[in-house]
Amino acid sequence: MSDASAPGRTPAQDIAAQVEVFVRTVVAPFEKDPRCGPHGPEDGLVHELRGLARDRGLLTPHILADGTHLSHADTAPILRAAGLSPLGPVAVNVAAPDEGNMNLLGKVATSEQKARFLNRLLEGGRSAFLMTEPAEENGAGSDPALMRTFARPDGNHWVISGRKTFITGAQGAGVGIIMARTDPGDGQGAATMFLVDLPDPAVRIERILDTIDSSMPGGHAVVAIEDLRVPADQILGAPHRGFEYAQVRLAPARLTHCMRWLGACTRAHEIATDYACRRQAFKRRLIEHEGVGFMLADNLIDLKQSELMIDWAAKVLDSGLHGTSETSMTKVAVSEALSRVADRCVQVMGATGVSRETIVEQVYREVRAFRIYDGPSEVHRWSLAKKVDRDWRASQ
Amino acid sequence: MSDASAPGRTPAQDIAAQVEVFVRTVVAPFEKDPRCGPHGPEDGLVHELRGLARDRGLLTPHILADGTHLSHADTAPILRAAGLSPLGPVAVNVAAPDEGNMNLLGKVATSEQKARFLNRLLEGGRSAFLMTEPAEENGAGSDPALMRTFARPDGNHWVISGRKTFITGAQGAGVGIIMARTDPGDGQGAATMFLVDLPDPAVRIERILDTIDSSMPGGHAVVAIEDLRVPADQILGAPHRGFEYAQVRLAPARLTHCMRWLGACTRAHEIATDYACRRQAFKRRLIEHEGVGFMLADNLIDLKQSELMIDWAAKVLDSGLHGTSETSMTKVAVSEALSRVADRCVQVMGATGVSRETIVEQVYREVRAFRIYDGPSEVHRWSLAKKVDRDWRASQ
Amino acid sequence: MSDASAPGRTPAQDIAAQVEVFVRTVVAPFEKDPRCGPHGPEDGLVHELRGLARDRGLLTPHILADGTHLSHADTAPILRAAGLSPLGPVAVNVAAPDEGNMNLLGKVATSEQKARFLNRLLEGGRSAFLMTEPAEENGAGSDPALMRTFARPDGNHWVISGRKTFITGAQGAGVGIIMARTDPGDGQGAATMFLVDLPDPAVRIERILDTIDSSMPGGHAVVAIEDLRVPADQILGAPHRGFEYAQVRLAPARLTHCMRWLGACTRAHEIATDYACRRQAFKRRLIEHEGVGFMLADNLIDLKQSELMIDWAAKVLDSGLHGTSETSMTKVAVSEALSRVADRCVQVMGATGVSRETIVEQVYREVRAFRIYDGPSEVHRWSLAKKVDRDWRASQ
Amino acid sequence: MSDASAPGRTPAQDIAAQVEVFVRTVVAPFEKDPRCGPHGPEDGLVHELRGLARDRGLLTPHILADGTHLSHADTAPILRAAGLSPLGPVAVNVAAPDEGNMNLLGKVATSEQKARFLNRLLEGGRSAFLMTEPAEENGAGSDPALMRTFARPDGNHWVISGRKTFITGAQGAGVGIIMARTDPGDGQGAATMFLVDLPDPAVRIERILDTIDSSMPGGHAVVAIEDLRVPADQILGAPHRGFEYAQVRLAPARLTHCMRWLGACTRAHEIATDYACRRQAFKRRLIEHEGVGFMLADNLIDLKQSELMIDWAAKVLDSGLHGTSETSMTKVAVSEALSRVADRCVQVMGATGVSRETIVEQVYREVRAFRIYDGPSEVHRWSLAKKVDRDWRASQ
């Protein structure tokens, strides 16, 4: 465990060390709390954990009291530390989708919108980002061009109707950001983001999906939006720029996912290592069998490579670049490396690995979704192949 | 769907075709039944499904009315058909551990034992196989030499004490086969298998483990055996031959696992194919994207290879050989191939793939455990490496 | 080594056993012959080896004296036995491209063509199949639709001009099959195959390519065809049906590649096993290190799966089906499995594995090309994905 | 291509940029020179290339005129630039084994030894490192404890006898570093390194091995050392500390291998990209097929990860730590990542990829050996597993 008061640390490293101690000693014991359900920790547990974080000055630790967002490079060790428990990001309020929503509002919202919506999130209020649409209706899954939720102007209001799915945290959220198609009159079509208070009778949660992951409060909802009226001043940023803002949100959000899951898989690796170093089979400790030791060696490599990729992409974002390709590369590499890490941890632990005696089973399940959330690997590879082509043309 | 009454089929193929129709049309709709819980289908659902199978003459379809067990080669398509739904093997009574227990009793039990214990299983009674012991106590996980459950003779009885874990179906079982160390007096140590009626106050279910899989009735239990008295005539086969019988059970049991899971992954592949052939993204149907189409092409290959390996190993067993290496090779190859298949199905389906909207998510979770159950891949590879060495020595 | 005179064998198994003994004892010692050059064994060596095979009645062993071609299933063990040495297929005259050319002529040629061209090949004459065209000219590589060699009618002759590349065995061939575009007058375009005697001044070998493989006599040539006049009766089969015949040749040719390379990788595995079972490192024999033993265990699995896939596809072809998908599946699976096998053999043997002290290094290099020859894996996966789509549509 | 005179560069970056221009424009055209043989470039070509580098002040660019060795971090981009051609490292004198030998002498040699031996190397003389012993004699392959070359004291000389294999560059070397077992009198055994002038009649080159790689001048030799007398002042550093110095040499040598091969695979990727962006198949350019584009996207990721791992390990070494684990992790990760990159480049280019029309085929062959040279991956994983265990014990 880190020593949270070591000298010679940067302020960000100091925060990360404190978060690590908090998550390992205070949060981790709640992993067996019966309020951890299949649709994520219940609201009561979320409030209790956030209270504990608030007491220690560790709530929303990557955004300073004056509203300054730490650099992406400085955020990395903090979110990794938070991720050491599946409950950690929720506890210190750096979980998806809130973390990404706070980042987006910090960049795009007006002062009034910040005062009304962002501050609630900074203090631990929950939010949702309503973009993805049901596949069975050929709505916008990985391909936002297929969006079928529309907003039409009506006086100084807009009226939104459509259906969204896989909306993380919609159940229990106080703030929603809704993405809807709007018509700028140029025949091209566009999308706009709207800030709304939740719950609202016009935003009906049809059901909570049962999913392979279980760490996100409120789970993932199917939401019907039926003639929701929103005043024009609740447009986030400017109208018709929704796809642009989605990109603003996406690149860093992709990266913070990597940071949190790196923490989760680091912990899983520690648990598997401890298991392998204690347990005997066939006359030796497991770790002394090359078949097991090699898996843990490969974990070392995958974890280190993930960390290096994250730090590299974070520096690219901090330099002011969009970082679309760099975060795509990192997302693909890290989500696949961590899937391998979690898979090896399960295998090292045998039957214990597929049971919920430890969090390894949960980490394994959750990290599977990471290869899909925020763009499946195939979409990122497709976009990277386009970049290869584009760069080649530029070099001719 | 197969036509169950096609001419030119062998009797076994005819049974397989009937099971397939039954599983696809009658059993599959129960997959959304709320009685499918995290610890497997509840007993009420199991009874209802087995009743439906019994009505159609499809209960325990691989063992004929006269007690004849079909050959392994003939069993393969039947168990594959049963596996097309996670509920299928339970419905037609070919699920683990009952199927393996019936096979073992058929080979080793006395006529009296068959009348008393086996018949109940053939008619749909549930059973458990109590061998594995807790890792934290350094008991017998993958390495049976570590077994710490002991049976000591006491007159014409034996008294058994110990602790078992990961005992599939113990909760709700009517018959138990308990493996315990016994002392044949030669200083070498040995193990003996005992047949017992369950429930019994001396066989206490401490708790049901939460596990990544959820299709086995009764789940996986931790069981404490405290001074259980068993009459000597309930020894299965001869005393002190438990490890030998465990091998008798293991090789075919490994293979029937492969058969059932091949069915499950075949179904997952059908669901993913249907998804990819209907859904659009980036202006084409998913199947028309090479990134998706190649995954389904690889599934075709992995499914076919799995089928071929199973059929090969089944013929080896049918020829009367032990088939230890052949079933090890098959178990490693099939469990890893099917893990890839299930993983690709999830990926093809994106967010839908990690939700419980279809059984793909369940198949993905369950098949993960298959690389561990009945010996983790590493133990099989270790034993195959020994065979390589042994064969090399023999050739010198 | 097999006993070539064991009772109870089928005639085909008997031939395979004789070929195995011949290749292991007579052919293998020539592997160190200095006439094995970078462009394959020199003609003198080829003649010597074929003479040795002829003396033992083992030349062209898969085609009986009366011209009957053994079934594909019966051919499999013979070609696998031949492949046990990189020189084996050449020695017994079952190497590419001759083997595929003989098969094609046997199916499509007229009696006159058989007498004139096929018989020479059966007796050990060499041939070439001139289809592939240079990529840099955007000719027909993997995509035959791009073919730019044309044949135009001129009285009762045709005049062919174009450029071909990667023409295996063109140097030294006595018979050529040239594929050229012809115009059936329907505006669709087509191709025709022509049988020609070689060498011919109008078929100029520009150069022999340096390639990663080195077992094919004559290497791979770039060939310029300049106004080659061919009498109309040298059209193979019917005019304009070249693409159809190419398919007739391709499916079985793909499979015989698999058979030969399975033999090569089986031998490499034997060599690596012998190395691992003798050599010590870190206090144990290599085979006793799991890191090495597991690689050899995986070889066992990959070799067995390759054999099973080949046998399955062979039976499909023998049943009279085209087997396009089945041989595609087999080619992808086997070429990739054998690449893994060869790679592991190299790794097991360390520095010796990357030297030419044994044939393992050669097998590793050659098998790399197998993932490209006869259609790269990607083209086969693409075609399998189309089949998935087609089958899905048919099921709707 | 880089602009060698861009402002704002560090001196090391400036050197790297100059090396890149030199290698791409001056060295690369020699890749088709007939003096590039199977045992590496001939001495005449080596001298010509080194003369060209010397003319431009680019010979031994990572060691400054005053003898200062650049930091490992600063060396990385220079060696990567050199590696852009298989002839590049030889041309600018940063190739193995000379580069590693220069590094070792710089750290361990006396001033007299530097004047006599090191200076020759800095100016472009060739050297050899004689450690590895033949496997068939159970000598020191991956396991130096098995060393069977002995040096015994004889007055103020030592007399060395033994047999070495895979000695890169022995043919043509002017300086040799010989590792031999010596007896410090403590019953433990040890090894000592000796500096010798070559050629010497007592150091007989038995033969040059034929190997999969072909870029190292002099190839890899089997060397017999027969009663070679060496004055005691030619002991490198102190007697009996050979294994320690071998470690001093190994960690950085491992890393410089990574740097050079990263350059080689970067170039292969550029060639494959150019091919894929120009060539058509099935109605689109290859790059527009996801099956091809995804491979190039994966190359981007693997190349970037390799770069990041190298930079990380270089900084660890620069910090003064031994970096044994870090360079092991990097060597395993980079050699395997670059193997994948080279394999994909071959596959993207189809038949052209397995021909010597470009250097891709050579890079593919050479990089295969990299998973074995300087310790096969398995030895590194074994040592990393020991570290996992050691760290776990320390944490208890």
Return the beta strands (E) in B110-182 as ranges. 127-130, 150-154, 157-168, 175-182
C40, amino acid identity: G
* Interchain contact, B291 vs D289, CB within 8 Å: no
The sign of the dihedral angle between the CA atoms of D107, D109, D112, D114 is: negative
D203-209/D190-197 β-pairing? unpaired
Q: Quote the minimal CA–CA distance from D348 to chain B in Å.
A: 15
Q: Quote the minimal CA–CA distance from C280 to chain A in Å.
A: 16
Residue of B289, B329, B380 to mutate when probing chain C, most C C-beta within 10 A: B329
The per-residue pLDDT for range B227-273, each reduced to its tens digit, is: 999 999 999 999 999 999 998 899 999 999 999 999 999 999 999 99
Query: Alpha helices of chain D — where are they, by DSSP H?
Result: 11-22, 43-55, 72-82, 88-92, 98-108, 111-113, 119-122, 242-278, 290-318, 324-353, 360-370, 377-395
Helix (H, G, I), strand (E, B) or coil at C12: helix
* Interchain contact, B346 vs A282, CB within 8 Å: no
Question: For residue D282, what pLDDT is reported?
Answer: 85
- The two structure tokens encoding residue A262: 């790196």
**What CA–CA distance (Å, rounded) separates B99 from B129?**
11
The per-residue pLDDT for range B355-377, each reduced to its tens digit, is: 999 999 999 999 999 999 989 99
C93, C126 Cβ separation under 8 angstroms = no
Interface predicted TM-score (ipTM): 0.95
Which residues, in sequence order, are bridge partners of residue B186?
none
- D299: Cα separation from own chain's centroid: 22
Q: Which letter does DSSP use for residue C199 in this model?
A: S
The CATH architecture to which A243-395 belongs is Up-down Bundle (1.20)
- Contacts of the segment A206-210: beta carbons below 8 A, 24+ positions apart: A208/A39, A208/A171, A209/A165, A209/A166, A209/B355, A209/B356, A209/B357, A210/A38, A210/A39, A210/B355, A210/B356
The per-residue pLDDT for range D341-383, each reduced to its tens digit, is: 999 999 999 999 999 999 999 999 999 999 999 899 999 999 9
Helix (H, G, I), strand (E, B) or coil at D306: helix
- The two structure tokens encoding residue C90: 């050449």
**What CA–CA distance (Å, rounded) separates A99 from A128?**
10
- The two structure tokens encoding residue D384: 């990393």
Residue in the structure block whose two tokens are 């009561």:
A44
Q: Which letter does DSSP use for residue C60 in this model?
A: S
- Which residues in chain D touch residue C371, judged by CB atoms under 8 angstroms apart? 347
Report helix, strand and coil shares of chain D as percent, to nearest 5: 55, 20, 30
Tell whether domain A127-240 is in CATH 1.10.4030.10.
no
Choose among B299, B300, B311, B315: nearest CA to B258: B311
Choose among C132, C139, C210, C217: nearest CA to C173: C217
- A218: Cα separation from own chain's centroid: 14
**What CA–CA distance (Å, rounded) separates A158 from A237?**
15
Please list the pLDDT of chain C residue by residue as tens digits (396 residues).
344 456 678 999 999 999 999 999 999 999 999 999 999 999 999 999 999 999 999 999 999 999 999 999 999 999 999 999 999 999 999 999 999 999 999 999 999 999 999 999 999 999 999 999 987 665 555 566 678 999 999 999 999 999 999 999 999 999 999 999 998 877 777 999 999 999 999 999 999 999 999 999 999 999 999 999 999 999 999 999 999 999 889 999 999 999 999 999 999 999 999 999 999 888 899 999 999 999 999 999 999 999 999 999 999 999 999 999 999 999 999 999 999 999 999 999 999 999 999 999 999 999 999 999 989 999 999 999 999 999 999 999
**What CA–CA distance (Å, rounded) separates D135 from D131?**
13
CA distances from D190 to D148, D163, D184, D235 (A): 11, 17, 7, 14
- Which residues in chain C touch residue D355, judged by CB atoms under 8 angstroms apart? 166, 209-212, 220
Please return the burial class of A34, using the count of CB atoms within 10 Å of its CB with bins 0-12, 13-18 and 19+: exposed
CA distances from B5 to A345, B10, B19, B21, D231 (A): 48, 11, 12, 11, 92
Among B285, B300, B382, the residue with its CB nearest the CB of C384 is B300
The CATH number given to B11-122 is: 1.10.540.10
Domain boundaries defined on chain A: 11-122, 127-240, 243-395
List, for chain A, all residue ranges whose pLDDT scores fall below the cut of 70. Answer: 1-7, 136-145
* Interchain contact, A346 vs B357, CB within 8 Å: no
CA torsion angle B7 B12 B14 B16 (round to 10): -140
Q: Quote the minimal CA–CA distance from D196 to chain A in Å.
A: 39
**What CA–CA distance (Å, rounded) separates B66 from B68?**
6
A157, amino acid identity: H
Question: For residue C141, what pLDDT is reported?
Answer: 55
**What CA–CA distance (Å, rounded) separates D385 from C212?**
36
**What CA–CA distance (Å, rounded) separates C13 from C6?**
10
**What CA–CA distance (Å, rounded) separates D6 from B297?**
49
Whether a cis peptide bond, with omega within 30° of 0, leads into A199 is yes
Residue in the structure block whose two tokens are 């325990």:
B60
Question: For residue B2, what pLDDT is reported?
Answer: 43
* Interchain contact, B378 vs A141, CB within 8 Å: no
**What CA–CA distance (Å, rounded) separates D88 from D22?**
9
Residue of C36, C142, C352, C354 to mutate when probing chain D, most D C-beta within 10 A: C354
* Interchain contact, A141 vs B350, CB within 8 Å: yes
Residues 137-176, chain A: which have Cβ within 8 Å of D?
Answer: none
D60, D124 Cβ separation under 8 angstroms = yes
Residue D384, chain C, CB below 8 Å: the answer is no
**What CA–CA distance (Å, rounded) separates B72 from C331?**
29
Nearest chain D residue to B294 by CA distance is D291
Helix (H, G, I), strand (E, B) or coil at D310: helix
B355, A220 Cβ separation under 8 angstroms = yes
Q: Quote the minimal CA–CA distance from A236 to chain D in Å.
A: 34
Give Rg (Cα) of chain C: 21
Residues 266-295, chain C: which have Cβ within 8 Å of D?
Answer: 275, 279-282, 289, 291-292
Among A220, A354, A377, the residue with its CB nearest the CB of B369 is A354
- The two structure tokens encoding residue C43: 């003609």
Question: For residue B5, what pLDDT is reported?
Answer: 55
Residue in the structure block whose two tokens are 């799995």:
B306
Q: Quote the minimal CA–CA distance from B294 to chain D in Å.
A: 8
Helix (H, G, I), strand (E, B) or coil at A200: coil
B175-182/B127-130 β-pairing? parallel
Q: Considering only the top CATH level, what class is C127-239?
A: mainly beta
Choose among B82, B105, B73: nearest CA to B27: B82
Which residues, in sequence order, are bridge partners of residue A223?
A164, A205
Question: For residue A1, what pLDDT is reported?
Answer: 37
Question: For residue A144, what pLDDT is reported?
Answer: 62
C157-168/D203-209 β-pairing? unpaired
* Interchain contact, B291 vs A382, CB within 8 Å: yes
Choose among A130, A131, A63: nearest CA to A93: A63
